[in-house]
Amino acid sequence: MNFNYSNPYLSTRLPVFARNVVSTSHPLAAQAGLRMLYNGGNAVDAAVAAAAAMTICEPVSNGLGSDSFCILWDGKELHGLNASGRAPAAWTPEYFRRKYGQDVATPPKRGFDAVTVPGAVSSWVAMSERFGKLPFADLMQPAIEIAERGYLLPVVVQQKWAAATPELQSLPGFAQAFMPWGRAPEVGELFQFKSAARGLRAIAETRGQAYYGGEIAQAIERFSATHGGNLMASDFAAYQPEWVKPIGKDYRGYTLHEIPPNGQGIAALIALGILGHFDVAGLPVDGVDSQHLQIEAMKLAFADVYRFVAEPSSMEVSVDQMLDDAYLASRAKLIDLKKAQDFGAGNPVKGGTIYLTAADENGMMVSFIQSNYMGFGSGCVEPTFGISLQNRGHGFSVDAKAANPANLVAPGKRPFHTIIPAFLTKDGQPVMSYGVMGANMQPQGHMQTLVRMLDYGQNPQAACDAPRWRYNAGLEINVESALDAQTVQGLAERGHRMEVINDSYQDFGAGQFIWRAGDPKVEGYVAASDARRDGQAVGF
């Protein structure tokens, strides 16, 4: 790909060119990964070290009680890892009805009854054991040091931290962990997380065993019981991450790969499969025609994803059916190029997150995403080991008559998941590891940035910096304030109901990109980091 390296968008970032690269949404985490590469490690070592550091550096978005997914190129083939959490053994629809009433639709948003067994730590161990070079304990050391010594709070993270505090301050362990002076830290104040350092040491010394069945799991069980939850150490001991085969869809001669359901990555593949039936490159890149077409394709994708995607064993249609070329061609025909529509699901049977990426000069590339779901997750923080627990259980349904009955809660089941890493190949060879975080913005970001690169030749940093839109529901979309005013007006004239938003972190996600420029030992990579967060791409 011959990129245009002029950047038409306002940005404080430039592409980074190097043979060994780490890109994350916090500089200290990026440097933690780079430290592993300097010490003789590979991209997996770098990714795990960066992921551990991110639990300390951006606790609004992830923690030691998060879930994660990964797609990695080991130098020869592509691998996927699903480390999303499973429901505790006690969770049934009846469990929630007894506690919250017969009309309850989902598990609660916050508190212990929102927490599934966290999978992130298991992913670090699995990746290290299968593909890493350095001792696992070494990978935890930068995060331990950051947690012990502390760091000065950056601008974007502080804004989200302060915004979340009023809702969460009364939840178990939250104030003790994240309100050290009885309030959220200010920009530039030193934040230390010594209990998380203790947890990281236990994880490092036992290669995760303390977490899955050992002293950390036992501490979480006691903490859960004290506050009305039913999360048991036995739930942790039973948990295993799952190595999976990524799913893919061709677009403009390349193949985009995503983790299969229970995640929403298939939405990006469906949208691209629909866009493949249009001459997107023949439309002005930031014009109303191109943006309208992409929005409508994304709506069609979400209509099917929200209706059908769940734990694979519970789905009533298959991934192959949802990605069938003839089916997607029929969906493409529903798009009116001059009018916004509210689409329903088709019938395929007939036919608050962090993302990071790392690559090394030997060709290994890692696309990794980790999340506590909503800001600070459940709001519950186990005080002895600093385990800030996610709230992924809120993604289940309690009602068998819900729009997607396949997502009904059950013991040991995984809920519908939003976090998705992405990977691009061409002719079976690696091209780019990338991701865009932010709830349902993620597949939308995957599609929008990839269209900019493949249809319009924009370089990764420009594609990252470009203004975005976000589809919500019905005819409602949010648009960034930087989007061209004539395009905004044109979208409104076609029936899109828009809100112009200035808060890019909350509504439009943030991405990290590593594009392989050629032979990693010679040309290396082109890396980008999104200015919508505090991050950085670094390399040597």
pLDDT beyond 50 at 351: no
- How far apart are the two ends of the chain, measured CA to CA in Å? 22
Q: What is the pLDDT of residues 101-149, one digit of tens each?
A: 999 999 999 999 999 999 999 999 999 999 999 999 999 999 999 999 9
pLDDT of residue 294: 98
pLDDT beyond 70 at 292: yes
Quickly tell me which residue has 């009116």 as its tokens.
336
* Catalytic residue numbers, as ranges: 353
Q: What is the pLDDT of residues 387-406, one digit of tens each?
A: 999 999 999 999 988 888 89
Rounded to whole angstroms, how far apart are CA atoms 272 and 446? 10
Beta-strand runs (E) in 53-205 = 67-73, 78-83, 151-152, 190-191
Which has more pLDDT, 289 or 349?
289
On whether the CB atoms of residues 252 and 273 are closer than 8 A, the answer is: no
Q: Span 1-82+241-373+418-540: which CATH code?
A: 3.60.20.40
Question: Can you tell me the mean pLDDT for 166-189?
Answer: 97
pLDDT of residue 506: 60
CB under 8 Å to 23, separation ≥6 — which residues?
16, 30, 356, 357, 358, 512, 513, 514, 527, 528, 529, 535, 536, 537, 538
Predicted confidence band at 410 (pLDDT cuts at 50, 70, 90)? very high
Cα angle at 304 between 298 and 305, to 5 degrees? 80
pLDDT beyond 60 at 100: yes
pLDDT beyond 60 at 350: no
CA–centroid distance for 495 within its chain: 30
Q: Reduce the DSSP state of residue 436 to 3 states and report it.
A: strand
Nearest to 124 by CA among 100, 142, 150: 142
Q: What is the pLDDT of residues 31-89, one digit of tens each?
A: 999 999 999 999 999 999 999 999 999 999 999 999 999 999 999 999 999 999 999 99
CB under 8 Å to 55, separation ≥6 — which residues?
62, 63, 64, 66, 120, 143, 196, 370, 388
Question: Can you tell me the mean pLDDT for 209-233?
Answer: 97
Q: Reduce the DSSP state of residue 116 to 3 states and report it.
A: coil
CB under 8 Å to 146, separation ≥6 — which residues?
28, 32, 53, 56, 57
pLDDT of residue 7: 74
